[in-house]
Copies of this chain bind each other. A is one copy, B any other.
Amino acid sequence: MYTTALRLPDRDAKPRRRGMTMVIDPGLPNAYFTDVVDSYGDLIDVVKFGWGTCLATPKLPEKIAALRRNGIDFYFGGTLFEKFLLNDRIEEWSRFCHEAGAQTVEISNGAIALSNADKAHYIRRFAGEFTVISEVGFKDPARSERLPPNRWIEFIQQDLEAGAQLVIAEARESGRSGICRPNGELRYGLIEEIADSGIDMTRVMFEAPTKELQVHLLQRIGPHANLGNVHSNEVIGLETLRLGLRADTLTDFAGTDLPAVDQELPTHA
């Protein structure tokens, strides 16, 4: 890289607690998945195998090996937890995660009728065994839209108190639920309230599967916002947004320890 001439935000090295990027694997073919994590493993902190895809992936151990050699953590989507819970097989879920080599699990209630208090119970139960990531927000757009900001904040705090290391704010893979409206628009007021709630933003990760979401969250939270559900082919794109190397954030972030960028340009006309 040849960035010394430019004033860019400093990025923390891995393992980091801010500026984390979580990539979602919706079921990528194996060699392509390996290519992604080998090509820019330093830019990826954690991979989520989306929902229950791990159970339909023929060669899951190959993918996990590629993550290990690139120092990338992984976990299975919260919907897998919910499916095992629906089938009253929560011990089998825990055993499955251990056998797959997962050190992190996601506990959520996005698709089932489980209260946040009951979700927190499971967070407490598994926080000794695994690093627990929890999720707030529902997958059904109408149900999610009825959840007001003060409840989001209450649930995030409840999850953290129960032992979650990180709380994910839901947007689905499509960016059309959770922190987004069904038409894909971000719930700006919700983001404002979360950002102003006093919750430590290094303990929250926002799902941001589209460039529009990424841009707004970086501009509001800063270049070190934790962003998730990033598509595998947009990891570099997100990195350029964090660094101010794409039009959308070109003048937003000066290097933190540097004077502000001077936008006065020389003129020759």
Give this chain's copy count. Answer: 3
In the complex, residue of chain B having the shortest beta-carbon distance to the beta carbon of A265: B114
Interface residues on A, range: 35 or more
With A51-B240, A247-B110 as known contacts, state yes or no: A56 contacts B233, CB within 8 Å: no
With A96-B2, A99-B2, A250-B83 as known contacts, state yes or no: A55 contacts B245, CB within 8 Å: yes
Minimum CB–CB distance from A131 to chain B (whole Å) comes to 21
Most buried by B among A58, A79, A236: A236
What B residues does A266 contact at CB under 8 A?
A: 88, 118
* Stretch touching chain B among A30-38, A191-199, A221-229: A30-38
A29 to B43, CA, bound (A): 12
Task: Name A residues whose Cβ lies closer than 8 Å to a Cβ of B.
Answer: 1-3, 5-7, 26-32, 35-36, 38-40, 42-43, 50-53, 55-59, 79-80, 82-89, 92, 96, 99, 110-115, 117-118, 121, 139, 174, 211, 232-237, 239-240, 243-248, 250-251, 261-263, 265-269
